[in-house]
Amino acid sequence: MKIRKAIIPAAGLGTRFLPITKAVPKPMLPVFDKPNIQYIAEELRRAGVEEIVIVVGPDSEVIMRHFGEAPELEQRLLADNKQKLYEIEKETCSFNVKFVVQEEANGLAGAILCAEKYIGDEPFALLLGDELIYAKDDEQSCIERLIEIYENTGKSVIATMQVFGDDVSKYGNIGIGEEKDGVMQVSAIVEKPAVNEALSNYALIGRYVLAGGIMSKLKALKPRNNEIYLTDVLDEFAANGTLLATAFNGVRYDVGDKAGFIKANVEYALRSKEIGEEIKEYIKEKGKTL
Ligand code: G1P
């Protein structure tokens, strides 16, 4: 079955980024000249996913405004003959986005369940809002690869990367079975294990394609620490041989982390036609003084 829909959980409070996240929701923090959530919407468009459900926290109207029409601003840009800026603005309202509010901070599975009315029993892509994955225009992106694997096998599939030392405890962690053409069978999965309990050094990153019918399984989960964990259902899939994994393509930025956020800003600015050269020169000069 084709993947037509995606969920972006984006309801986190972003307390690590206080004070900016007091009034500005974390998905609206800019990476170069766009809020980080727009990059994820663009990643989905490029992969041919038509409908996006963004799960937001309470007080996130500004995210809805970002993806909505702005007639006064548009008229103003046209009247001032600012065609390029008009197109940039129009792009933001060209995505097919639905919003649902996650009232309770009850984990990733809780966020997915909030989107049930739009997803139903269809398979869907899941992209975590804190991670940007950059692929060049001529490269297959991470989510495109996951969709391809799902469409070929009908099995849920997750993106992984290798991590070392204490970092294994920051992520979902997978046990690996047979591997063929870069696609691995997942034998088990644990959420943020202690270093000595890790199954491998493969970590789950924030890109998934999940087979249809997962909602009823999520509803049946028992909460732990007031949260329900997607990982618990994925572990069931792993046990019955229906979970695959692949190393991700592209460059990953953890924009939920301060250093990752700054690195993403530097690198997206370096790629910009508008200011890339200027920033490159600046970094070279600055480098001499460090
Ligand atoms: C979530 C998932 C975790 C995954 C991580 C990737 O954790 O629960 O399995 O490895 O995203 O970033 P979070 O970072 O939201 O705590």
In this prediction, residue 13 carries a pLDDT of: 86
What is the arithmetic mean of pLDDT over 234-260? 94
In this prediction, residue 109 carries a pLDDT of: 95
CB of 173 sitting under 6 A from ligand 1: no
How close is the Cα of 95 to the center of ligand 1, in Å?
26
What is the arithmetic mean of pLDDT over 96-100? 97
Alpha carbon nearest to ligand 1 atom 13, residue: 171
How close is the Cα of 74 to the center of ligand 1, in Å?
38
Is residue 79 very low, low, confident or very high in pLDDT (cuts 50, 70, 90)? very high
When computed from its CA atoms, the radius of gyration of the chain, rounded to whole angstroms, is: 20
Residue 205 in this model has a pLDDT that exceeds 80: yes
Is residue 224 very low, low, confident or very high in pLDDT (cuts 50, 70, 90)? confident
In this prediction, residue 248 carries a pLDDT of: 83
**What integer best gives the mean pLDDT of the chain?**
95
pLDDT tens track for 262-285: 999 999 999 999 999 999 999 999
Rounded to 5 degrees, what are φ and ψ at 132?
-105, 135
- Burial class from Cβ neighbours inside 10 Å (0-12, 13-18, 19+) for residue 62 reads middle
Q: Which atom of ligand 1 is nearest to the CA of 256?
A: 14
Alpha carbon nearest to ligand 1 atom 14, residue: 171
**3-state SS class at 143:** helix
Closest CA to 147 of 209, 215, 96, 77: 209
Distance CA(259)–CA(265), nearest Å, equals: 10
Residue 236 in this model has a pLDDT that exceeds 80: yes
In this prediction, residue 1 carries a pLDDT of: 80
List own/partner pairs for 141-145 with CB under 8 A and 24 or more apart: 141/43, 141/46, 141/47, 141/249, 141/250, 142/205, 142/207, 142/248, 142/249, 142/250, 143/43, 143/44, 143/47, 143/49, 143/207, 143/209, 144/46, 144/47, 145/246, 145/248, 145/249
CB of 255 sitting under 6 A from ligand 1: no
pTM of the model: 0.95
CB of 203 sitting under 6 A from ligand 1: yes
List own/partner pairs for 215-220 with CB under 8 A and 24 or more apart: 215/112, 215/113, 215/116, 215/119, 215/120, 215/121, 218/109, 218/112, 218/113, 219/113
Pocket test for ligand 1, best of 171, 192, 235 (most atoms within 8 A of CB): 171
How close is the Cα of 171 to the center of ligand 1, in Å?
5
**Cβ contacts of residue 242 below 8 Å, gap of 6+?**
155, 156, 211
In this prediction, residue 131 carries a pLDDT of: 95
Alpha carbon nearest to ligand 1 atom 2, residue: 172
CB of 253 sitting under 6 A from ligand 1: no
The answer for 112, left when phi > 0, alpha when psi is -120 to 50, beta otherwise, is: alpha
Closest CA to 28 of 117, 149, 40: 40
- Write down all domains in the chain, each with its CATH number in brackets: 5-256 (3.90.550.10)
Cβ distance 250 to 139 under 8 Å? Answer: yes
Is residue 85 very low, low, confident or very high in pLDDT (cuts 50, 70, 90)? very high
In this prediction, residue 168 carries a pLDDT of: 96
What is the arithmetic mean of pLDDT over 233-250? 94
% of the chain at pLDDT higher than 90: 93
In this prediction, residue 61 carries a pLDDT of: 93
Distance CA(57)–CA(240), nearest Å, equals: 34
Residue 81 in this model has a pLDDT that exceeds 90: yes
Angle (CA) 25 147 104, round 5°: 30
Distance CA(214)–CA(113), nearest Å, equals: 9
What is the arithmetic mean of pLDDT over 104-113? 93
pLDDT tens track for 25-39: 999 999 999 999 999
In this prediction, residue 255 carries a pLDDT of: 95
In this prediction, residue 40 carries a pLDDT of: 97
